[in-house]
Amino acid sequence: MNWIKRVLHIGEKIKKVLKKRPTKEEIESSDWTSCCKGPVLKKELEENLWVCNSCGKHHRIGCRQRFDIFFGKNNYEILETPIPKDDPLRFEDSRKYTDRLKEARKKTNQDCAVMIARGKINEINITAGAINFDFMGGSVASAEGEAIITGVQHAIDNNNPFVFFPCGGGQRMHESPIALAQMTRTTLAVNELKKNNLPYIVCFTDPTAGGITASFAMLGDVAIAEPNSLIAFAGRRVIQATVKEDLPENFQRSEYVQECGFVDLIVERKDLVEKIGTLLSILLKKNSVISTEENETSENSQTLTRAAS
Ligand SMILES: [Zn+2]
């Protein structure tokens, strides 16, 4: 009977370990998080823009954290965006959609997954948007669509370039066709931005997939990505099962997607402000170095023309 006692003893031990596991809420409210080398203080990670010092992993961040990094703390204004009626389809799976929304709002302190802000970089007024993955996986539904369109409209009204930091799994199934319609609506909004000759810069963050890559996120004049971000339409397993071939290790990661030509630049978080600032200065012809060079070139050509005549 000894073996039975041993099995029971092991069972008790497993129970103890399982009991000791922290809940989701405990993990979120903890001062610690984990990365390659085990526990890391969230404060330390925050000081390094939420990038791991050891492995360089760019941890996921919320919209306010993104704007804090991009514009600088207290250096931007969050714009109000319309919130359509919740739960238009009265959707319910294992839980009510309205309960899921309530929980996401409490967790993120946001009304919907998208936030729009305005601020300045390099003396250029910018309208910027971001998605928070913690808000129902960054999925896009009617409120998110409205927020993106409001951002684009603000950019057009103020003659601002539009910078967007997408992430998320795609359209939110709880709003089925209404969520799908946001793909068309946001695409049309981006087209309006282009008709007004305003630069539109997209910076992919981990993970961006589904309807988000299939609509507004892939339409940037310049497509930037943070290192090692997942950028995909369908998931790896679905593709592997369809093509029945082994896929490379870094499949659908920023570096691979850049090789395929869907991403122009991979930029570390600490360099994003400088890089986007420079790009916008060039696109808006506001770079003093460029304008000086242009003047010199035109002066030289005038001298040449005079000499020739
Ligand atoms: Zn790490």
Beta bridge partners of 114: 131
Give residue 51 CA to ligand 1 midpoint distance, Å. Answer: 8
- The Cα 277–Cα 207 span in angstroms is 24
Give residue 207 CA to ligand 1 midpoint distance, Å. Answer: 17
Residue range 256-292, pLDDT digits in tens: 999 999 999 999 999 999 999 999 999 998 755 555 5
Residue range 90-110, pLDDT digits in tens: 999 999 999 999 999 999 999
* Lowest mean pLDDT segment, chosen from 113-127, 152-166, 168-182, 273-287: 273-287
Give residue 298 CA to ligand 1 midpoint distance, Å. Answer: 51
pLDDT (mean) for 213-223: 97
Give residue 50 CA to ligand 1 midpoint distance, Å. Answer: 10
- The Cα 27–Cα 25 span in angstroms is 5
Task: Enumerate residues with CB within 5 Å of ligand 1 (an ion).
Answer: 35-36, 52, 54-55, 57
Give residue 43 CA to ligand 1 midpoint distance, Å. Answer: 15
The DSSP line for 11-47 is HHHHHHHHHHSPPHHHHHHSSEEEETTEEEEHHHHHH
Residue range 135-144, pLDDT digits in tens: 999 999 999 9
- Is the separation of the CB atoms in 135 and 143 below 8 Å? no
Does the pLDDT at position 72 exceed 80? yes
- Where do we find the tokens 């890089």? 275
Region of 225 (left: φ > 0; alpha: ψ -120 to 50; beta: rest) is beta
Give residue 60 CA to ligand 1 midpoint distance, Å. Answer: 13
Provide the 3-class DSSP secondary structure of residue 83: coil
